[in-house]
Amino acid sequence: MLIKIQFAELAKAAAPEAGVLILPVGADKKLSPAAETLDKQSGGLIKKALGGGKFSGKRGQYLSLGLPAGTKADRVLLAGFGDAKSLDAQAWEKIGGGCVPHVNSAGAKSAGFVLEAVKGMTLALPEAAARIAHGAHLRSYHFDKYFTKKTADEKPTLQSFTVALAGAKALAQKSYDKLEKLAQGVIFTRDLVSEPANIINPETLAEKCKTLTSLGVDVEILGEAEMYALGFGALLGVGQGSSAESQLVVMRYNGLGKASKTAPIAFVGKGVTFDTGGISIKPANGMEEMKWDMGGAGVVIGLMKALAGRKAKVNVVGVVGLVENMPGGNAQRPGDVVTSYSGQTIEVLNTDAEGRLVLADALWYTQKLYKPKFIIDLATLTGAIIVALGTSRAGLFSNNDKLAEQLFKTGAKVGEEVWRLPMGEVYDKQINSDIADMQNIGKEREAGSITAAQFLQRFVNNVPWAHLDIAGVAWSKKDDAITPKGGTGYGVRLLNQLVADYYE
């Protein structure tokens, strides 16, 4: 269950009758007017707490205090924000999100965040309020649908989160409305990535895409018969060992109107709903995590939900190739040669380098049929990118400096960072095959993420293109300020902001 978000006039909500009252405190430890009032009501409890201990008002610090009888709130939570001048949208989101686990730890059902103007603060108060709420909304997510025996004290307690500010409730709500649609897209992606592979397979994931029609998205699904007729040899080869039928889903949203002739922007996602590695089978340890090898497709689906939900003024097409990579009796073998939709032939030397085969046909189909302004693909493509960048950044590869720079700046802005890696002939020749146009892995072990990107570049036909390898960021084994551990939804916020800043 996600929390209910509300906004209130400060005069009416400065002292809630129950729950946790959240008060922001800067590095100077100066109390806001509301905090001063509560401090007097509590007999100086807040100032006493600030006078000693480790709480310094640094951003990311929180201090929970019990309040004496006579005060209306059950507890007060001091939320450090550091230097007011550095409080951008991302910072306020993290402050809001960081409050959620502390409120849950207190066992409270409601929380009220009292937001007052701070000297040096650059973000308008209504926008800051909306960002606080957005962060709390995202952090309150938990995937718990399969628990049947959790007791009440094991479940999160927070049900409602109110941000109170003076004279700007309506403006805060207006700012939040679009952020709520964005959060719904992120949460949809998290749900899809978190589902087990016996629930989400190519066919059921395609059905999930159909739910976007209620938002005005046109959804077209190509089954195996249609793809065989078109010549999707690369994608179909990956899924031929599975009993689940492979799918290609095209989602189109014309935010500029159905009659608009403006070329769309395109997003393409790898959707391997479970990846055993095929005949080149993976080790058993950790294989259960391969349910989220459809993370790239999940991001594209969630992004389409977010853009359509907030009625973005842009024409966009989202394409996801959905397969299951299984070692069945009909599975693709190492050494097989397949013919891609582009007509280029591929020697499959490793059936666990399957995502690039799926994307090869999806990318060519997208650029050929829709002639987009650019294509961005997302894929949990290589373990090598985790070795290179860890779990804090996605790998970025591109044939277009402008698009790459836009992605880099946007990633820093929203906190979903990317890092560009090189490409070039020295890497491209590593995927030349002795018996076909190319092979699906490099001749050497090194630079595995780069040779994978070089492979994909052969299927974009000089369209401006960027590839995001999200293997290290699609799933998290620990909580952060706005993301609980599990499926992160990384990429939805990044690409939504890219569209908003540069293409609407």
Which positions are catalytic?
A: 282, 356
Q: What SS3 class is residue 61?
A: coil
Between the alpha carbon of residue 204 and those of residues 106, 201, 267, 380, the distances in Å are 39, 5, 21, 20
Q: Among positive and negative, which fits the CA dihedral 249, 379, 191, 182?
A: negative
Placement of tokens 């100066």 in the chain: 30
Residue type at 453 in one-letter notation: A
Q: Where are the alpha helices (DSSP H) in 430-469?
A: 448-457
Nearest to 184 by CA among 309, 294, 94: 309
Say if residues 7 and 176 touch (Cβ distance below 8 Å): yes
Q: What SS3 class is residue 65?
A: strand
Q: Which two tokens stand for residue 88?
A: 């951008």
Q: How far apart are CA 238 and CA 274, in angstroms?
A: 11
Residues in Cβ contact with 370 at an 8 Å cutoff, skipping those fewer than 6 apart: 263, 264, 266, 317
Q: Which two tokens stand for residue 240?
A: 């031929």
